[in-house]
Amino acid sequence: MVIDSRLKSVYDGKSGTDPEHQRMVEQLTASFGPEEAEALVEGACTLVYMYMNWLRQAFERQEEDVIEHAIPSLVATMRMMPRTFSPEVIPTMAGLLIAAGTGLSPNLWRAQYGPWTKEEMNPLEATAVLLAEYINRISGNGKDFATKLVTDVLSQLD
């Protein structure tokens, strides 16, 4: 929901976060204990994995490599967003994308480098948003195609 909400504000041309929405998100996350916070991070990593898996399959159908085509574009976009992506976190987000693009769980990949830091939370969320927007753009199926990918997967679960 957070990713979809962020995408809608981008598509609506809103430059910042709606203060009411931001207040509700902050209130919700403040109520989280360690387990809920960890589940939220794992959920963001799972979205990155799902999106990169879809991209990998889409690029393979065209006999192209997702790492070669998608990652440079996404990293270039990160570099254009210095308030969200400090230079220090870009290699981590690129590594996360590469791991997911090669079929490795982002959660397992990250575990070898220690726990996520507070400074990496906004970039992690923004990476998932960038991936969703990239998928929406290249799919040609509208501004909510990435969201539909997730809802389709969730609807198939028991």
% the chain with pLDDT above 70: 84
Give me the chain's average pLDDT, please: 85
Q: Which of 11-25, 66-80, 97-111, 138-152 has the lowest mean pLDDT?
A: 11-25
User: How much is the pLDDT for 15?
Assistant: 57
**What is the model's pLDDT at position 17?**
60
Q: Does position 18 have pLDDT exceeding 70, yes or no? A: no
Q: What is the pLDDT of residue 81?
A: 92
More confident residue, 141 or 15: 141
- pLDDT tens digits for range 27-82: 777 777 788 888 888 988 999 999 999 999 999 999 999 999 999 999 999 999 99
Give the C-alpha separation, 133 to 143, whole Å: 8
Give the predicted TM-score (pTM) of the model.
0.82
The angle formed by the CA atoms of residues 82, 33 and 31, to the nearest 5 degrees, is 75
- Average pLDDT over every residue of 138-145: 82
Residue 57's pLDDT is what?
A: 93
The DSSP code sequence of 92-154 is: HHHHHHHHHHTT--HHHHHHTT-SPPGGGHHHHHHHHHHHHHHHHHHH-S-TTHHHHHHHHHH
Longest dimension (CA), the chain: 46
Q: Is 130 exposed, middle or buried (0-12, 13-18, 19+ CB in 10 A)?
A: buried
Query: For position 51, what pLDDT does the model report?
Result: 92
CA–CA dist 82, 105 (Å, integer): 27
With beta carbons less than 8 A apart as the criterion, state whether 101 and 67 touch.
yes
